[in-house]
Amino acid sequence: MSAGPAHRLEDIASIYADREAEARRFYAHGGRVIGVLGATVPTELITAAGMFPLRLVGDPARGTARSDAYMEPVREGYLRAIVEKLLAGDYGFLDLIVVPRSSEGLLQFYYLVEHIRTTEPELRLPALHLFDLLQTPFDYTARYVRARMEELRTRLGGIAGAPISDKAIADAIASHDAARRGFGTIVARRRTTPPAISGTTALRLAGCGQVLPVDALAALIAEAVTHHETIVPGPRLMIKGSPQEHDGFYRAVEATGATIVADDHDWGETLYETPVGDSDDPMQALVAHCMTHRPSPRRLPQEAVDAEFIARVRDAAVDGVIFALEAHDDTLGWDYPAQKRALEAIGVASILLTGQSYWSIDDRTQTDIATFVRELSR
């Protein structure tokens, strides 16, 4: 797959603002684009097949006029927003959408959209593929996931017009790992005192990596490591919790004088944290990586997940953690009390913001953030 035109650092904002543009260009030049949801699809397989993996993003500005007819208001905002775009015909350029079973919301998205596709064929929705990623830490689960990943490999090969070889997969893993290592340098730069890169820029870069060919991301990161933002020292924060698909929350936080030096959600730095690594069996390496190293609310055991979180807090020398949980969260809130206690044990402050809207940031949230940052600044 061609990396397309080289991007400059100044392009980050525009790439981030229109995260489908690069994929549409690829499609316009005869390439095949595969949509993915969430952070756990083995996009290396798509790269290996010479196709473009595009992580789908909703648009809060477009509302939910169409999707409301199918989706309960308690569903995840980002999934309601993506269904809105699906129903509006935005995704006609996709050959397939791969949906991982790494959250109940994603699984229910698959069933819902499959149902609409079946009962309303006139909508011409793209085909879906459920990647049934299970994450219990058992050998039989790993075997099950391996078989499901082989099915995905076969389907992608069918779309690409040729089987995907082990060598192509190993090469794709090497490319994605290079990008992961490159992102590690971005993480290091946001960790300096004062930080050399803002949280908003880091979030945008992480997001660009989900919508650019992997080689283009590597080039963008190579340029970004020379970038230096002038950041007035202020409280060092981590954002943790529900997906931060857009940068509005980050901008609101950093407007108070704090800097986001770390994050722990599925659009942030944890996407790039652990390389897949070299292996004689690249498919098995991908299985292990998808099951245990990609951001997902179903990772087990929770003690290990929490230990990673605290290690990141220490590594980033964080002053405070903002737990931002979406409205109707039924999952991450169960983790919060133990995580809060762990933070207290190492003297790190935190604030819990529940009921967060996908569509906008309300006044109360703005006030709570400002108060938290002001207290940290004392």
Partner 1 sequence: MTAATKPSPAADTEADGDRLAATARARDKQKSWFKDFQHRAIEEGEPYVIAAAVSPHEIFHAMDVPLVTNTWYSSIIAAKRLSPHYFDLMDRLGYHHDLPRYLSLPMMTTLDGNPEKAPYGGLPRPALILDRLRGDYAQRITAQWAGAFDCPAFYLDTPSQTRLVPDWWNHAQRNWEWLYESHRLDYQVEQIEALIGFSEGVLGRKLNRDTLAEEMHRINEAGELAAEARDLIAKARPCPVALPDQLTNVMAATWNRGSQWAVDHMRSYVEEIQQRVDTGYGICGNEKVRLLWINTGLWFNTGFYRAFEESHGAVFVWSMYTNFFSDGYRKYFDDDPLRALAARSISMNEQLHLPPWMAGWILEQAEAFGAHGAVMLTPQGDRLSAYGTEICRTSLEKAGLPVLELSASMVDARLWDDAEMQRQVGAFIDTRCKA
Interaction between residue 375 and partner 1 (CB under 8 A): no
Interaction between residue 340 and partner 1 (CB under 8 A): yes
Residue closer to partner 1 by CB (options 252, 305) is: 305
**Among 1, 49, 71, 160, which residue interacts with partner 1 (rule: CB under 8 A)?**
71
Interaction between residue 191 and partner 1 (CB under 8 A): no
Interaction between residue 338 and partner 1 (CB under 8 A): yes
Interaction between residue 263 and partner 1 (CB under 8 A): no
CA distance 126 to 281: 32
Residues 285-314 that bind partner 1 (CB under 8 A): 297-298, 300-302
Encoded tokens for 221:
């990161």
CA distance 1 to 378: 52
Interaction between residue 108 and partner 1 (CB under 8 A): yes
ω before 233 within 30° of 0 (cis)? no
Interaction between residue 377 and partner 1 (CB under 8 A): no
CA distances 228 to 37, 205, 306, Å, are 32, 14, 32
**Among 354, 361, 368, 370, which residue interacts with partner 1 (rule: CB under 8 A)?**
354
Residue closer to partner 1 by CB (options 74, 345) is: 74
Percent helix, strand, coil in the chain, to 5, is: 50, 10, 35
CA distance 252 to 265: 17
Residues 146-185 that bind partner 1 (CB under 8 A): 147
Q: How many residues bind partner 1 (CB under 8 A)?
A: 49
CA distance 248 to 359: 10
Where on the phi/psi map is residue 161: left (φ > 0), alpha (ψ -120 to 50), or beta? Answer: left
Rounded to the nearest whole angstrom, what is the least distance from the CB of residue 298 to partner 1 in the complex?
6
CA distance 241 to 350: 12
Contact string 209-228 vs partner 1 (x = CB under 8 A): --------------------
CA distance 111 to 107: 7
Interaction between residue 329 and partner 1 (CB under 8 A): yes
Q: What is the 3-state secondary structure (H, E, C) of 214-283?
A: HHHHHHHHHHHCCCCCCCCCCCEEEEEECCCCCCHHHHHHHCCCCEEEEEECCCCHHHHCCCCCCCCCHH
Rounded to the nearest whole angstrom, what is the least distance from the CB of residue 302 to partner 1 in the complex?
6
CA atoms within 13 A on the CB side of 28: 7
∠ CA 169-172-178, nearest 5°, is 140
Residues 119-148 that bind partner 1 (CB under 8 A): 119, 130, 132, 134-136, 138, 140-141, 144, 147
Rounded to the nearest whole angstrom, what is the least distance from the CB of residue 100 to partner 1 in the complex?
10
**Among 43, 47, 64, 103, which residue interacts with partner 1 (rule: CB under 8 A)?**
103
Residue closer to partner 1 by CB (options 3, 112) is: 112
Rounded to the nearest whole angstrom, what is the least distance from the CB of residue 132 to partner 1 in the complex?
5
CA 170 to chain CA centroid, nearest Å: 22
Could you list the residues that contact partner 1 (CB under 8 A)?
69-72, 74-75, 101, 103-104, 107-108, 110-112, 114-115, 118-119, 130, 132, 134-136, 138, 140-141, 144, 147, 297-298, 300-302, 325, 327-331, 333-338, 340, 352, 354-355
